[in-house]
Structure 1
């Protein structure tokens, strides 16, 4: 072989090696680009999920109602197959496991407006006589029709008149002048009565009507009040009712289980003109006594619950916020942390659009557990029966669900919505099962979340608290309003009575003025709040 040919062969071999190296480089670059593309796709999916989440919050329905997906045959699975549940006898009480013939449903049609109005409403009788000569006629009966009317709010003035009387001793000619002592108003040297103060407070803290709107209404009634004056009245109420917060705190923390949650509130920052501070309302609830305590803090750090729960011993039911796991809160030996199934379920509800099969399975199984809780409530089981039903029926469902979570955890992307949902549930699973062994622990803390909604409504109306002191005032009033709601106490009647007599009430008996202990000074019957006794009309 000639030298030239050998050189050509060596050149070709070298070129082949170069091309091979170039191919390897291109393949590596292509693999990197594929990985980058995959990562970008995940980021796009994540951004879409975030946008969907934001749209859901802004425009979506607030209901968490869940309808299971249909199976391959097009059938929607029922909550329970009765033959799979079996019968459980608990002190003579047979659970729904046994087949029973449903009672016939009686259809009843009620014409709109024919239900009687509540008896406590004032009646104005208007008699309509025939427009004719009734001589010789005898009344044989009457027909009565009632229609609901409304009179706008009105202001009245109470005039306190103090007559002076004199008596002259005929022998000594000494004059004795007597006069009744002046009646002290709720605010010293102030013009408002307890009824006006109660009305302003209820309109603001229950119906979320800002002070400036209320002032406009008063102006239409012919009385102009300054905003600073009315806010001063609210400050006076805060000072006046402050002892109730200490009494309420003692009772809220007295139970074997305590629920906790938190939500933000904007507060005007005095140090930064025109700026607002993001404060936090920590809410605590005694589920057995149905008592609620709002506690304002300037931040969401753990100092709030550490201070609040310093003397608490028992179970603490919360969401997944890591603050509660601190060694000085839920990490203490004398506090047992319990988690909430509603929060865990919510993660799967959010994952429904992205992994409907897995999310549907979890939510269907949890729906069975909630169905058991409804049965317990409807049948009014005793403590022993509640625990037995939970352990024999709910616990097996939850144990199987844990195995399903473990099996699926490795099959999904950790950062995907379903991956986050599975991780959230698995990492808290033992604490999610605690409720099954105790009768006094609820399955979730939805009871406290429904009460926090009042804070969200307030944010939409008055936007922010005027100061940190104002936020503390909101916490006090929200606490009392929530307790009134839980015990069906008319908040206006309650505040009017308590404001009028708290200054003379013995401090050692101050808890008697809390909504669940309260009775009027005149011992008259307490009318329930219209919100809880109102009759619905079509």
Structure 2
């Protein structure tokens, strides 16, 4: 921490006293700014790494990070300006360097050349010659550009006869006779389901650009797009259900209930494939199914035709999938989630610092350390490593678990958590027998997060049908994202292809992982 020096002004000549006072004020201001900067950096580290941050959700941590970073940037500008006034250019120069970044080569460049006022040599020798140049680049952002596509179809007729008029046919549109191009529809879809901007906010943004489009008009575009995209999403679901292993999770999706003037609880169920951790050849994907509730029969319906291993959390509604009476296929094998087991113990440890919970967390951490070592290698290698290294640790954990359960009341908070782990013990060991199975369900939980973000921004779906469209379009957008495909480019191309009558027999070409952007 910087301390302001104490100076006896009486010892300074009167002529210099004003200059010294001004410098002392600047030093005091710099001291105050530096102290605030140190405080903000401390708060930032605490939000990201402190114990309290573990109680925050990912979104809350990101929000804290953003706000603290904004405040820190403001302080740095203050400090740079004061430092520049004192004549020290070092700090200002180093602080500005880290904001340069790397601008992609694919971005269009608009050059502006700044010439000197005169090219005549000061000595009178004549016109100077160019010997080099300095170049600098800055990022420029142009707000959303609205434009009107005017389609002209000339009519032609013969001057010598009356056999008819020739005119090129109108090009097909997704919404015939409507205002939007397919690019406009794609923009609205991405804004709503990827950037989490409700339609009424999009309407306000467009109004600022001079275009008055009511949200009801935008809703009409979204509904029609959702209808045309349904076959693509259905085909995506078929591809996923042909897999040997999938993830599944569910989250609430509140729906407006006009009869009661409030909202009711709907659900979006995520069915996902992600074989990248073991080098699987099938591309990752996710489909969101809308349902009015969380009953296990919904999962049974959505999984019709799937007979592999399902990675899930501990929700009891999935139990019906493992029984011979399962509808839609043979009993499936479930793999339960060690992250959920860890979370149960973490809740107890955070509340009362339980040594037993701490020991359980330490043991589970050993499993995850091994998983980090074997990530990315083949299923056979993963299976061998797990059987050699992890299986003895899991067996020891099982013995430890039963010993603790004999000592602790099942009705206590810790006892309930240990019972949860005991009840899912078979499913928690599935990953030891199959190198393709993950240790936890985190892959699909990460795919649920965009749904929760949209829920926070939109508050609720306006109708049950809104949940269906929500799930359908989010399926394509999130599958694009995990395959490294730009969602807007994909949706624009796909909607255009559908408008042009893309054949149903070639629908696989419209799946996100098969999209090839035009040059």
Q: Is contact 1:331-1:337 (8 Å) kept?
A: no
Find out whether 1:157 has 2:148 as its counterpart: yes
User: Which residue matches 2:134?
Assistant: 143
Find out whether 1:408 has 2:394 as its counterpart: no
Find out whether 1:462 has 2:465 as its counterpart: no
Provide the rounded CA distance (Å) in 1 between the counterparts of 2:454 and 2:54.
Answer: 19
User: Which residue matches 2:264?
Assistant: 277
Q: Is contact 2:383-2:435 (8 Å) kept?
A: yes
Provide the rounded CA distance (Å) in 2 between the counterparts of 1:406 and 1:148.
Answer: 61
1:116-135 correspondence runs (5 A): 116-134=102-120
Provide Cα deviations, 1:460-482, integer angstroms capped at 9, x if missing partner. 11111111111100000111111
Structure 2, unaligned runs of 5 or more? 1-50, 60-94, 121-125, 276-282
Q: Is contact 1:268-1:274 (8 Å) kept?
A: yes
2:368 to 361, 367, 370: 370
User: Which residue matches 2:304?
Assistant: 310
- The 3-state SS of whatever aligns with 2:309 is strand
Q: Kindly tell me: are residues 254 and 463 of structure 1, through their superposed partners in 2, closer, same or farther at Cα, counting changes over 3 Å?
A: same
Provide the rounded CA distance (Å) in 2 between the counterparts of 1:484 and 1:327.
Answer: 29
Provide the rounded CA distance (Å) in 2 between the counterparts of 1:474 and 1:238.
Answer: 9
2:287 to 278, 283, 293: 293
1:354 to 344, 352, 371: 352
2:493 to 482, 497, 503: 497
Q: Is contact 1:297-1:304 (8 Å) kept?
A: yes
Provide Cα deviations, 1:275-295, integer angstroms capped at 9, x if missing partner. 222111111111223210100
- The 3-state SS of whatever aligns with 1:326 is helix
Find out whether 1:442 has 2:438 as its counterpart: yes
Q: Which has the higher helix share?
A: 2
Provide the rounded CA distance (Å) in 2 between the counterparts of 1:63 and 1:440.
Answer: 27
Q: Is contact 1:330-1:336 (8 Å) kept?
A: no
Q: Is contact 2:322-2:334 (8 Å) kept?
A: no
Q: Kindly tell me: are residues 389 and 328 of structure 1, through their superposed partners in 2, closer, same or farther at Cα, counting changes over 3 Å?
A: closer
Provide the rounded CA distance (Å) in 1 between the counterparts of 2:455 and 2:411.
Answer: 32
1:254 to 220, 235, 242: 242
Structure 1, unaligned runs of 5 or more? 1-55, 65-108, 526-538
Q: Is contact 1:340-1:444 (8 Å) kept?
A: yes
User: Larger C-alpha radius of gyration, 1 or 2?
Assistant: 1
- The 3-state SS of whatever aligns with 2:211 is coil
Q: Kindly tell me: are residues 348 and 387 of structure 1, through their superposed partners in 2, closer, same or farther at Cα, counting changes over 3 Å?
A: same
RMSD: 2.3
Q: Is contact 2:348-2:413 (8 Å) kept?
A: yes
Provide Cα deviations, 1:345-382, integer angstroms capped at 9, x if missing partner. 110110113243111111112112112111112xx422
Provide the rounded CA distance (Å) in 2 between the counterparts of 1:349 and 1:430.
Answer: 21
User: Which residue matches 1:106?
Assistant: none
Find out whether 1:339 has 2:336 as its counterpart: yes
User: Which residue matches 1:486?
Assistant: 482
- The 3-state SS of whatever aligns with 2:355 is helix
Provide the rounded CA distance (Å) in 2 between the counterparts of 1:110 and 1:440.
Answer: 47
Provide Cα deviations, 1:475-495, integer angstroms capped at 9, x if missing partner. 001111110110111111111
Offset, 1:456: 1.2
State how many pairs are aligned. 417
Offset, 1:299: 1.1
Provide the rounded CA distance (Å) in 2 between the counterparts of 1:280 and 1:257.
Answer: 23
Offset, 1:184: 2.4
Q: Kindly tell me: are residues 282 and 329 of structure 1, through their superposed partners in 2, closer, same or farther at Cα, counting changes over 3 Å?
A: farther
Offset, 1:264: 0.9
Q: Is contact 1:168-1:175 (8 Å) kept?
A: no
Q: Is contact 1:338-1:435 (8 Å) kept?
A: yes
Q: Is contact 1:330-1:337 (8 Å) kept?
A: no
Offset, 1:185: 2.1
Q: Kindly tell me: are residues 224 and 330 of structure 1, through their superposed partners in 2, closer, same or farther at Cα, counting changes over 3 Å?
A: farther
Offset, 1:196: 1.1
1:61 to 53, 56, 59: 56
Q: Kindly tell me: are residues 253 and 123 of structure 1, through their superposed partners in 2, closer, same or farther at Cα, counting changes over 3 Å?
A: same
Q: Kindly tell me: are residues 174 and 459 of structure 1, through their superposed partners in 2, closer, same or farther at Cα, counting changes over 3 Å?
A: closer
User: Which residue matches 2:256?
Assistant: 268
Q: Is contact 1:306-1:329 (8 Å) kept?
A: no
User: Which residue matches 1:214?
Assistant: 202
Provide Cα deviations, 1:265-316, integer angstroms capped at 9, x if missing partner. 111124x141222111111111223210100001111221111222111111
TM score, norm. by length of structure 1? 0.74
Q: Is contact 2:174-2:498 (8 Å) kept?
A: no
Offset, 1:405: 0.6
User: Which residue matches 1:517?
Assistant: 514
Provide the rounded CA distance (Å) in 2 between the counterparts of 1:274 and 1:190.
Answer: 33
Q: Kindly tell me: are residues 214 and 110 of structure 1, through their superposed partners in 2, closer, same or farther at Cα, counting changes over 3 Å?
A: closer
Q: Kindly tell me: are residues 286 and 278 of structure 1, through their superposed partners in 2, closer, same or farther at Cα, counting changes over 3 Å?
A: same
Offset, 1:330: 8.8
User: Which residue matches 1:205?
Assistant: 193
- The 3-state SS of whatever aligns with 2:196 is coil
